[in-house]
Amino acid sequence: MKPLQENERSISDSEWDVMRIIWTLKQVSSTQVINELQTKKNWSESTIKTLLRRLVKKGLLSTKKDGRRFIYTATINQTDMMFEAANDLLNKMCDMHKGQVLLKLLADSPISKVDLKQLKSEIAEKEKTAPDKVPCNCLSNKNFMC
């Protein structure tokens, strides 16, 4: 999978819906994407094909012709794309409050025991060098604690 370019970082909610289907099915025809989306959304076939074309243009999907149909494959994995989106959002927030946001996300998100075990390990490592308090980064005065 390739790293995300600047113009690929932002995708619409509708494009996320398309990508989630493709990530789940791995390789999928436009007909399969259309069928899946039309069971959940009231979108026309042309709307869905437009979304597929946009995602190809952004470099997030690759296509290959299989007879009369196109087969779509993601060029970036789902975890990497989710990380980019989450990281972009976190970068807009005050550093001092990110821990609280992460705690709320953890509390409100379904998560497996395997992932919880990895989180515990990551927390134990992070704890070794974590400051007592994270300073606010909203103002030029780095000593300000909001």
pTM assigned to the model: 0.75
Whether the per-residue pLDDT at 21 is higher than 60: the answer is yes
> How far apart, in whole angstroms, are the C-alpha atoms of residue 102 and residue 98?
6
> How far apart, in whole angstroms, are the C-alpha atoms of residue 136 and residue 146?
6
User: Can you tell me the mean pLDDT for 8-24?
Assistant: 89
Average pLDDT, the chain: 87
Burial of 57 (0-12, 13-18, 19+ CB in 10 A): exposed
Model confidence over 88-126: pLDDT tens digits? 888 888 888 889 989 999 999 999 999 999 999 999 999
Q: What angle do CA 45, 4, 109 make, to 5 degrees?
A: 75
